[in-house]
Structure 1
Amino acid sequence: MSCRGGAKQRENRPASDPAYDLGNGAYQEMKAEVTEVPASQLIPEGSPNFTGCGELQSVGDPVLHKKADSITGKYGVWLQDPEPQGPNYNNKTVWRIDTVGKDVRQVFAYEDMDQLSQGFPMKVLVLPEPMESTGATMYRGSLYYQRKHSRSLIRYDLTSERLASRLELPHAGFHGQHPYSWGGYTDIDLAADEQGLWAIYSTNKAKGAIVISKLDPESLEVKRSWETNIRKNTVANAFIVCGRLYTVGSYTAPNTTINYVFDTATGMGRALSMPFKNKFRYNSMVDYNHAQRKLFAWDNFHMVTYDIRLGKASNSSS
């Protein structure tokens, strides 16, 4: 499978861009031309009542939950913990992090979606180490994120409000070496699914191709890794569902596609052409919540979710 695209850092940013001025160059923005990959095989329709862990069949239209009201919310992370732990938070708790700025540390907790939409956090946590980009994820009572200007991964326990684990992700590119096509220093993207915790990144050895690593959720140690044959800077975003990596073709095109799948169970990847919508035309984060069977995304100040449908896996990979 091949996906050709070029990515180059956008130079001579206009002085009128308030996000750039605010961050004083604290985030990286890229411009990419992504060639759409034709489907090598269309995925058959699955049963709408399918409840097992399977292959992605379709992604619904985005549903808007909240629009950020300041320039710091142009890019961000918002999540609900699929497997919450401890007495303080549950699966209705909404977490939000605005990621534009020099020193991203604030994590806003909302009681539920209604409180998020009204803009009333019940608590604001302050991270002990600053965060890099929009690749954070939530899993089993912890926030997992990449430390700014490093390949260090951090597990922050939400109940004790303390750093619980820290580990360098071996050989991982960071701070603009191997980002997604939109830039944003999205070199390391953390994800959680039915099978556990993952890291999506690249290395110099992989020459920019996406590497997937299964992580120990307690220690953050790498348990196993896979190298794909799709370059990270040619895709806009990626997420993992049932042990399968999916990539999104464009972050700005209102009607783009999920253009590639890699199955860690077989070690095989193939092209797809599954419709995906960037309604607000600047999607900087896509993350899967396996408890809700939804994708959470941050699209140009807008916090949206997508319903997804899974079905039995296709037997064909190449």
Structure 2
Amino acid sequence: MKLHVIVPLCALFSLTQQTPSRDKCVCELTHSEKAFPHDRLSTVEDDASKCNSNITPQKTVELESLLLGLEKRLPQLEKDVSELKREDDGQLSSVLSLLVVENELLEIKQLINRLNITMLGHQRLTTNTTKELDDLRAEMQELETYDTMQVVKRQQDNQNLKRDLDQCRNGLYPTAQPTEQPHGHCPHSQFRNISGPRVYTAGEYPGSYKYGAWGRDPKPAAGKENWHWMVLLTSGNKHSNYVRFYSSLSSLIVGVSTPGNVQIHSSNPTTNTIQGPNVVLYGDALYYNCYNQDAVCRFNLTTKGVTTVQLPKGTRFNSKGNFCHLDECYAFTDLDLATDESGVWVIYTTTQDFGNIVLSKVEEPLALGQTWRTSVYKQAVTNTFMACGVLYATRYVNKDTEEIFYSFDTTTGEERFNLGIFINKMSSNIYALNYSPVDQMLHAYCDSYMVSYKILFS
């Protein structure tokens, strides 16, 4: 019986082994849709990128700067013409007043010519850009016809829905106001924010001098109330031997320097000439880092004399304690001079303070006054300025943005590291920042361009 069972099993096994394997299954997919034109999409992306590069914030601010210069210049001309009428006695004084008016008319004419050229350029740019946008819109609408499954449409619907939800949420829960900021004794109340660029100009030497500084004298001599000053590092982006003056903001914008240069020394560099871009003008005197010294120099514009005050032992100088960010340090920015409502300050660091920022008041006659020590590392900072007795420090975010992130109140000694006030930059690097308490403007020198911002107090 067992033998009969075994034989059929062997036969079955033999038959199974001899069965041929199945053929492979092959599926043929026929796609009825048109192939997506990737080359056309790439062309649209290139055209959009070119359009973005043509329309920049600098172009708008340039026009605003010219209009601002004209706005400030016309009332001054009207005032000078009125004075000329009162002084018209046929004598030398009236002749001099007439020369002043003629110079102002010449500057206004130059400003208007530059304004006309800029406006014509903007009109052409607007016309060309409008046509390019219409072409891009038509091309994108054509490309959307390839989206038969309406993926893009659903994404747009989701984005619109998210926007509506955000608006609804913000309406129910409005953004909380920032906490009180330390402000010392400030006549303008508290520093809350900073405006977009109000002035943006290449000035008299477009693209020629990477490092420099500019601003106004918070305590000007009589007759110099509207003057603006500029210092250009003309020797290797490190040194300078003169300060250049402009009779008004509009003169600076169009690049007409009157009265021109006031020279510290005929050689550059040499003893007591300027080292580094962080200089300020206060009380008709220029304050700066003395050449090859850990000292502050004061150049009197009237007497042309230079006095100095030595900084504490261990002060870092000669580009050993610069402002920095991850990609770059700004050469010879060891000492930063600053002005505010109370006078002149110097910001620096020492070996004893392990590279942290030290702040000292500069008193008259030239001497160091009270000194404060902070806990912020100087080479983690890109710039500093003073306003109402409060030290503010900035750091590099990206090529378009700088952040005012830190403050030190000299009245209370309180430090903050979370201010979160952002500066919209017109160039990658800000080499000098000067606060002007006369008009609450912050003057920045950026890769040979001069930019100003309005400090917004509550």
Normalized against structure 1, the TM-score is what? 0.77
1:193 aligned onto 2:333: no
Unaligned 5+ residue runs, structure 2? Answer: 1-176, 266-271
Q: C-alpha separation between the residues in 1 aligned to 2:397 and 2:275? A: 19
State the 1:66 CA deviation.
2.4
2:224 aligned to 90, 96, 112, which one?
90
State the 1:170 CA deviation.
1.6
2:216 aligned to 77, 80, 83, which one?
80
Among the aligned pairs, what percent are the same residue?
26
- Distance of aligned partners of 1:121 and 1:251 in 2 relative to their CA distance in 1, 3 Å threshold: farther
Counterpart of 1:215? 362
The residue type equivalent to 2:345 in the other structure is: W
Counterpart of 1:37? none
- Stretches (4+) displaced over 6 A: none
Q: C-alpha separation between the residues in 2 aligned to 1:244 and 1:55? A: 10
Normalized against structure 2, the TM-score is what? 0.54
Q: 1:193·1:240 contact (CA, 8 Å) conserved in 2?
A: yes
Counterpart of 2:233? 99
Larger Rg belongs to = 2
1:36-47 aligned at under 5 Å gives the runs 42-43=178-179
Q: C-alpha separation between the residues in 2 aligned to 1:134 and 1:240? A: 16
1:145 aligned onto 2:292: no
Counterpart of 1:166? 308
Q: 2:206·2:449 contact (CA, 8 Å) conserved in 1?
A: no
Counterpart of 1:281? 428
Q: C-alpha separation between the residues in 1 aligned to 2:372 and 2:189? A: 19
Counterpart of 1:157? 300
Q: 1:77·1:285 contact (CA, 8 Å) conserved in 2?
A: yes
Instruction: Deviation per CA, 1:67-87: give whole Å up to 9, x if none.
Output: 0535542110111101102x4
Q: 99-108 vs 278-287, which deviates more?
A: 99-108
Counterpart of 1:179? 322
> Secondary structure in 2 aligned to 1:149?
coil
State the 1:201 CA deviation.
0.5
State the 1:98 CA deviation.
0.8
Instruction: Deviation per CA, 1:1-24: give whole Å up to 9, x if none.
Output: xxxxxxxxxxxxxxxxxxxxxxxx
- Distance of aligned partners of 1:117 and 1:70 in 2 relative to their CA distance in 1, 3 Å threshold: closer
Q: C-alpha separation between the residues in 2 aligned to 1:267 and 1:74? A: 35
The residue type equivalent to 1:288 in the other structure is: Y
State the 1:185 CA deviation.
0.9
**Matched positions, count:** 262
1:126 aligned onto 2:263: yes
Q: 136-145 vs 245-254, which deviates more?
A: 245-254
Higher RCO (Cα < 8 Å, 6 or more apart): 1
> Secondary structure in 2 aligned to 1:117?
helix
Counterpart of 1:268? 414
Instruction: Deviation per CA, 1:111-163: give whole Å up to 9, x if none.
Output: 11121122121221111332111111111111111112111211111122332
> Secondary structure in 1 aligned to 2:402?
strand
Counterpart of 2:245? 109
> Secondary structure in 2 aligned to 1:114?
helix
> Secondary structure in 1 aligned to 2:420?
strand
State the 1:251 CA deviation.
7.6
State the 1:213 CA deviation.
0.5
The residue type equivalent to 1:178 in the other structure is: G
State the 1:101 CA deviation.
1.6
Q: 2:399·2:427 contact (CA, 8 Å) conserved in 1?
A: no
> Which structure has more strand as a fraction of its residues?
1
Counterpart of 1:248? 394
> Secondary structure in 1 aligned to 2:392?
strand
Counterpart of 1:314? none
Counterpart of 2:382? 236
> Which structure has more helix as a fraction of its residues?
2
Q: C-alpha separation between the residues in 2 aligned to 1:296 and 1:202? A: 23
Unaligned 5+ residue runs, structure 1? Answer: 1-40, 46-50, 312-318
The residue type equivalent to 1:58 in the other structure is: N
Q: C-alpha separation between the residues in 2 aligned to 1:100 and 1:125? A: 14
Q: C-alpha separation between the residues in 1 aligned to 2:410 and 2:189? A: 13
The residue type equivalent to 1:143 in the other structure is: L
The residue type equivalent to 2:404 in the other structure is: I
> Secondary structure in 2 aligned to 1:73?
coil
Q: 1:64·1:302 contact (CA, 8 Å) conserved in 2?
A: no
